[in-house]
Amino acid sequence: MTELICVGAIGGAFGVRGEVRLKSFCAEPADIETYGLLTTEDGSQTLSVHLTGSVKGGFTARLTGVETKEQADALRGIRLYAPRDRLPSLPDDEYYYTDLIGLDVYDTGGALLGKVRSVQNHGASDLLEIHGDGLKNTVLLPFTLTAVPTVDLNTGRIIVDPPDGLF
Amino acid sequence: MSRSVWKGPFVDAYVLKKAEASRESGRNEVIKIWSRRSTILPQFVGLTFGVYNGHKHIPVNVSEDMIGQKFGEYSPTRTYYGHAADKKAKRK
């Protein structure tokens, strides 16, 4: 089964004609419309999104099969998921956060340091948050060619050469 | 009101010392600093600073387009991760 990625959430009804307020989690918020049919977490419902406008903090949208305000209200809080294989492929040295999260982290000597818990960007460069059994706290590692020389998505491992004083 | 030009940019002295020592040693290390108010100078480009956010030191790789900003701008003090969704990370 293809991995599902959360790309948005429904905020509730917008107006009385079955439109919904939609919150997008995508890097480019309007891209939520481009991923085709979206599903709920359990896969019980499949919805097609058509953006109709924008509101503060999101969009207004029309979903297939949702015609009334009551139907739209019933969807409040539901998260929308897209299959991972719908995301476009990326050039070398560019990775989706979802692909990096969960990878095993090894040092250059082959010792396991932990797993990638999240990827963050505070404006400088991307940072990998690494969490491991032997670590007291999580460690933030800059996602650079020198600090992370190897990323192997096939085997699910990252080899890092961290700067002194991080681990 | 902005800072007078004749004063030059403000940098805590210890940050300058640590940066100079790190550059001379040539070691690949994170320079831990607590001075969020210091301006990023051209001589800091290429170095990695661990900027304290009140909880831990956030690694900040200094690049050319960060010159003139303050270190604190790259080390947020509040936590909000958001969703990964289709966000991309680029290895530079």
Which pLDDT belongs to residue A52? 94
Q: Domain spans of chain A?
A: 4-86, 97-160
- In Å, how far is B90's CA from the nearest CA of chain A? 4
Rounded mean pLDDT of A71-77?
94
Q: What is the mean pLDDT of chain A?
A: 91
Calculate mean pLDDT across residues A90-102. 92
* β A79-83/A94-96 pair status: unpaired
Residue type at B84 in one-letter notation: A
In terms of average pLDDT, the best of A32-46, A127-141, B40-54, B74-88 is B40-54
What does the mean pLDDT of chain B come to?
94
The closest CB to that of B91, out of A118, A137, A144, belongs to A144
pLDDT-based confidence at residue A1 (cuts at 50, 70, 90): low
How high is the pLDDT of residue A136? 84
pLDDT over 80 (residue A154): yes
Given A25, A145, A163, which is nearest B82 (Cβ)?
A25
Above 60 in pLDDT, residue B65?
A: yes
pLDDT at A46 over 60: yes
Question: Which positions in chain A touch B81 (Cβ < 8 Å)?
Answer: 118, 120
Mean pLDDT for the stretch of residues A126-140: 90
Mean pLDDT along residues B60-85: 92
Give the domains, in start order, of chain B with CATH numbers: 27-75 (3.30.860.10)
CATH code for the structural domain at A4-86: 2.40.30.60
Q: What is the ipTM of this complex?
A: 0.88
* Contact assignment for B85 to A121 by CB distance below 8 Å: no
Nearest chain A residue to B77 by CA distance is: A122
Q: What is the mean pLDDT of residues A60-82?
A: 93
Q: Based on the number of CB atoms within 10 Å of its own CB, is A36 exposed (0-12), middle (13-18) or buried (19 or more)?
A: exposed
What is the spatial distance between Cα A123 and Cα B13, in angstroms, rounded to a whole number? 25
Strand arrangement, sheet containing A112-121: A139-142, A126-131, A112-121, A104-107, A157-160, A150-152
B36, B69, B83, B92: which to substitute to probe chain A, counting the most A Cβ within 10 Å?
B83
Most confident of A28-32, A54-58, B14-18: B14-18
Q: Do domains A4-86 and A97-160 have the same CATH topology?
A: no
CB contact under 8 A, B59 and A140: yes
Cβ contact, residue pair A126, B89, below 8 Å:
yes
Per-residue pLDDT, averaged over A65-78, amounts to 93
The structure's pTM equals 0.88
Average pLDDT over residues B2-15: 95
| pLDDT at residue A3 in the model | 87
Cα A46 to Cα A37: distance, rounded to the nearest angstrom: 6
CATH 3.40.50.10800 for domain A97-160, yes or no, is no
Give the pLDDT confidence score for residue B24 in this predicted structure: 94
Nearest CA-CA distance, residue B1 and chain A, Å: 25
